[in-house]
């Protein structure tokens, strides 16, 4: 069996860059998991003060290393010289979250409310993500923002129970649905502003990724929760409007990923509307029309997406 060679006839080199990054990432997760298990099993032996001090020292040491070895702040993309730096920062942020959570649980330093215990780490995470240009920490900050705003919708519970009202997404029970939608639109707006003012514009994808899913899920949840009511049309119009905006914005930025999302979420809303129109049919007629619709619509959707992808690739040289 012959090995691959380069143009000079020497054995081709194989890059281990991504393999090492994955191993470092897994190492950080395993370290935090191991510390959590160790603390849980020996908390009565070690003592709360010693555990809190250990977690604080770990977080402070990581942050100290980052500030001492990190590159100066820039509104543009900052590439670290060593991949180890990114994972030290990630370890420091995870340890800081553990420290604040442990402190609140055992000593209730922020009182009975947990929002302040979430708000402070959120600010720290946003600061660290911008200071050291870290997309992973930015994702953690956005997640904390969602928790702080009370966004606790769980898609698994939707799939298992199919009970929107019990999980706080119904129109009558008010605000969670609108908070979820508002947060999604806020994140989409932050992504737009990042690109518009060229301030960490590479953060745009992360903001828009979270924002698009949040906004579409909120709109579809309102749509299906009131599927038989007249107000459902407002939610469906929201889905179509957001899909149209996302489509044209994605064409401008040549982002096929968000074009797929726009079509898929729109396909779900439109499919539900069409199947509702078939609901008057009975027996084999309903089954036939349902299968016919899904086969034809899936074929057309794939053809449309393939055509758009080819157009985007052909315009790359422009």
- CA distance linking residue 108 with residue 117, whole number of Å: 9
CB 203 within 8 A of CB 194: yes
Please report the pLDDT score of residue 113 as a whole number: 65
Given a cut of 60, is residue 153 above it in pLDDT? no
For the chain, give the percent of residues with pLDDT over 90. Answer: 38
Question: pLDDT digit string (tens) for 54-85?
Answer: 889 999 999 999 999 999 999 999 987 777 88
pTM here? 0.80
Mean pLDDT of the chain: 81
21 or 219, which is more confident?
219
Please report the pLDDT score of residue 240 as a whole number: 94
- CA distance linking residue 224 with residue 285, whole number of Å: 24
Please report the pLDDT score of residue 244 as a whole number: 95
Give the closest residue to 125 by CA, choosing from 108, 109, 135, 138.
138
Three-state DSSP at 226 gives: coil
C-alpha torsion sign, points 59, 60, 63, 65: negative
CB 200 within 8 A of CB 130: yes
Give the closest residue to 297 by CA, choosing from 317, 318, 278, 316.
278
Question: pLDDT digit string (tens) for 188-246?
Answer: 999 999 999 999 999 999 999 999 999 999 999 888 888 777 788 888 899 999 999 99
Binned at pLDDT 50, 70 and 90, residue 171 comes out as very low
* φ, ψ for residue 5, nearest 5 deg: -130, 160
């Amino acid at each position: 069996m012959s090995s691959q060679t380069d143009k000079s006839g020497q054995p081709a080199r194989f890059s281990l860059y991504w393999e090492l990054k994955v191993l470092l990432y897994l190492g950080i997760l395993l370290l935090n998991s191991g510390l959590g298990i160790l603390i849980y099993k020996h908390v009565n032996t070690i003592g709360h003060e010693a555990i809190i001090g250990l977690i604080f020292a770990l977080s402070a040491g990581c942050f100290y290393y980052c500030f001492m070895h990190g590159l100066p702040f820039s509104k543009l993309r900052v590439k670290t010289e060593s991949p180890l730096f990114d994972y030290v920062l990630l370890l420091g942020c995870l340890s800081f979250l553990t420290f604040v959570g442990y402190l609140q649980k055992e000593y209730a330093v922020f009182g009975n409310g947990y929002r302040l215990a979430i708000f402070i780490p959120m600010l720290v995470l946003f600061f660290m993500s911008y200071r050291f240009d870290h997309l992973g920490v930015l994702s953690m900050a956005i997640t904390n923002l969602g928790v702080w705003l009370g966004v606790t919708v769980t898609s698994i519970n939707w799939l298992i129970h199919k009970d929107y009202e019990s999980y706080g997404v119904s129109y009558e029970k008010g605000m969670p649905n609108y908070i979820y939608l508002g947060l999604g639109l806020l994140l989409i707006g932050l992504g737009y502003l990042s690109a518009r003012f060229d301030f960490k514009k590479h953060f745009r994808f992360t903001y828009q990724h979270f924002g698009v899913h949040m906004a579409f899920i909120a709109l579809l949840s309102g749509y299906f929760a009131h599927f038989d009511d007249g107000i459902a049309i407002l939610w469906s119009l929201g889905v179509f409007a957001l899909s149209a905006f996302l489509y044209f914005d994605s064409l401008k930025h040549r982002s096929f990923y968000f074009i797929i999302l726009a079509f898929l979420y729109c396909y779900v809303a439109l499919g539900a509307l069409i199947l509702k129109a078939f609901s008057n049919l009975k027996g084999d007629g309903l089954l036939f029309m349902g299968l016919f619709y899904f086969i034809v619509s899936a074929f057309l959707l794939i053809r449309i997406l393939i055509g758009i992808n080819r157009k985007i690739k052909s315009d790359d040289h422009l």
